[in-house]
Structure 1
Amino acid sequence: MHIPENYLSPSTCVVFTAAMLPIWYSAAKSVKRELPKEKIAMIGVGAAFSFIGMMFNVPLPGGTTGHAVGATLIATLLGPEAACLAVSVALLLQALLFGDGGILSFGANCFNMAFAAPFIGYFIYRLMLKALSKGGDVKVQHRLLSAALSSYVGINVAALLAAIEFGVQPYLFHNAAGQALYCPYGLNISIPSMMIGHLTIFGLAEVVFTVAILAFISKTAPAFLKENMEEKAGKKQLLPVGILLAVLTVLVPLGLLAEGTAWGEWGADEIAEVVSGGQKLGYTPNGLENGFQFNSLIPDYSLESVGIPEVAGYIISAVIGISVLVILFRIISSFKTKKD
């Protein structure tokens, strides 16, 4: 679901970045106003879960792959505004350091995964939780069932938005010969290609990821839950969450078992040979071939260029990502004072 560089026109990227600016500003103000210092630091843990969840690629018959995002998970724990900031920073780190998602398309990726997914997911979560807990008694099973449905809807809304953003490109931007300049697949191909996987396997992966982690945290670290706003997470609660992140880090090479490339994330050197919609494209869109290029430090989470095996490089990338996110939000939380 990460839209790569040059699949969207520069003007499209500008529109989505401009749309995200007031959203980021509002989310930051809300988090600063509503969350205590300790909870702001916990946003880094939420971002870490999102980051590592996106490294667990899941295969789909036909050669494509996808992954969970964890946006609704963070929204249920800390609120949609915190989720917006957490996923946005995780996406920025992925784009800058690992080349996962484009720099120019960062705003569009955030609009889909850091705005639409957590806010719509959280709205449905609260609506369903209220319906299930008519007597005011919120039970764990109510929370988990609500999280399951809301996370499924959230990731599919994000996927649909990405499919539309892909699909309108050839209608709006093409050369005199009718060849697309950026994404070459119209809505008739982009929507079913994106949605079949997300309505089935990838949506299920999001549900499992969300419910499993939410159930674990609800039992071992309830201070992470939004309703326990003023409760501090002591070492007894931080430890199991840290252990869970460590276990997921060790298991993250399972994401390498998924063969193929996610739909819409092909390189300029391979898209001409891609068969989508039943036929080979046969050309390379000019925008993809001659567009903006950015060389990330650890492309594709791989350190094989420096002699580190693929599996070890993937684990090291996960450790780097988690560490940066946790430390960054801890530093940000340090600026909050009692007067804020």
Structure 2
Amino acid sequence: MHIPDNYLSPVTCGVMLTAMAPIWTVSILKVKAQIKTKKETVPLIGVAAALAFLIMMFNLPIPGGTTAHAVGGTLLAVLLGPWAACLALSLTLLLQALLFGDGGVLAFGANAFNMAVIMPFVGYACYQIGRRLHHEKIGLAVGAYMGINLAALMAGVELGLQPLLFHSANGAPLYCPYGLQVTIPAMLAAHLLVAGWVEALFSVLVYQFIKKAAPSTLYQAPSASTSFKIFYGLLLGLIVLSPLGLLASGTAWGEWNTRELSQRLQAAAPTGMTHGVHFNALFSDYAIHGLSLPLGYILSAATAVLIFTLLIRVVQHDR
């Protein structure tokens, strides 16, 4: 679901980034107000960002030779509240793009809208309905499933609109070459059939674990003294297990580089893609030069957790 650079036109990227600006602004204001009553919100944002990063490293095989992954957007909204979850997921997506080349730098606004807005807010709304009906776990599961699939639908729409809106004089697509009739079914199939169910199951299991081990950290719980040892244990376990994400071979649908896309098309990639921005991330695809892929995966996961921890320490110190 991470849209790479050059699949969306610069105009589309600019529109999506502009749309995210007021959302991020409101998120910051909402979180500042939340911190006054729940001081643990700041460190929890760092933990949640790291948790989402690790969840997304576990790729799932999809029929047809592609992959997908869970995100944890609804889980983060239940843990932090939807506005703080939006900030945490945005931080995760930004780090993925800048340091690991997962998702485009120019496409950051679109990816943030899909995964840091649609997922947590839709998921949290479903959770709240379930909670009012005294079936919060069902609400959480439905919210997680609905959130990730609606985010996938939006990504499919963004990609599928490109040939309609941006093409050459002779009608050749300049960016994503697939229309809505291809992108929407392709994006939804992977998430309706596989990723959505994993998202729901993982969200419920982790929610149950947190509710028993650290219930005061949940957004709806009264503020209380919080121990973060349980969260760091969870993150450490996911870091160690992260190479399991390598078992699923193949590139996620719509995340191919220009060479892979040309092979699929059996023709040259659209000119807007070949002449677009090509940002080279330091640890592209979570690989570290000179190390085996599993070890590079583990070190990439550990590096991300360390960066989020240090970032939150800096924010807490400034406050």
Checking the alignment, whether the CA contact within 8 Å between 2:128 and 2:136 is kept in structure 1 is no
Q: How far apart, CA to CA, are the structure 2 residues paired with 1:175 and 1:287?
A: 10
Q: How far apart, CA to CA, are the structure 2 residues paired with 1:178 and 1:243?
A: 54
Q: How far apart, CA to CA, are the structure 2 residues paired with 1:245 and 1:68?
A: 16
Q: How far apart, CA to CA, are the structure 1 residues paired with 2:210 and 2:267?
A: 49
Structure 2 counterpart of 1:138: none
Checking the alignment, whether the CA contact within 8 Å between 2:130 and 2:137 is kept in structure 1 is no
Residue 324 (1) aligns with residue 317 (2): no
Residue 154 (1) aligns with residue 131 (2): no
Q: Which amino acid aligns with 1:331?
A: V
Unaligned runs of 5+ in 1: 134-141, 275-279
Q: How far apart, CA to CA, are the structure 2 residues paired with 1:144 and 1:316?
A: 34
How does the TM-score come out when normalised to structure 2? 0.97
Structure 2 counterpart of 1:71: 73
- Call closer, same or farther: CA 1:335–1:232 in 2, change over 3 Å: farther
How does the TM-score come out when normalised to structure 1? 0.91
Q: How far apart, CA to CA, are the structure 2 residues paired with 1:159 and 1:74?
A: 18
Structure 1 counterpart of 2:272: 287
1:248 is aligned, of 221, 238, 242, to 238
Checking the alignment, whether the CA contact within 8 Å between 2:157 and 2:183 is kept in structure 1 is yes
Alignment of 1:162-311 (within 5 A): 162-234=155-227, 238-274=228-264, 280=265, 282-303=267-288, 305=289, 307-311=290-294
- Call closer, same or farther: CA 1:330–1:42 in 2, change over 3 Å: farther
Q: How far apart, CA to CA, are the structure 1 residues paired with 2:318 and 2:117?
A: 25
Checking the alignment, whether the CA contact within 8 Å between 2:286 and 2:297 is kept in structure 1 is yes
Q: How far apart, CA to CA, are the structure 2 residues paired with 1:161 and 1:291?
A: 23
Q: Which amino acid aligns with 1:314?
A: Y
Structure 2 counterpart of 1:19: 19
Deviation string, structure 1 residues 46-88 (Cα, Å, up to 9, x no partner):
1111000000000111111000111110101110001000000
Structure 1 counterpart of 2:83: 81
Unaligned runs of 5+ in 2: none
Q: How far apart, CA to CA, are the structure 1 residues paired with 2:305 and 2:229?
A: 15
Task: Name the SS for the 1:228 alignment partner.
Answer: coil
Q: How far apart, CA to CA, are the structure 2 residues paired with 1:56 and 1:73?
A: 16
Structure 2 counterpart of 1:137: none
RMSD over aligned CA atoms reads 1.2
Q: Which amino acid aligns with 2:124?
A: Y
Of 87-96 and 213-222, the range deviating more from structure 2: 213-222
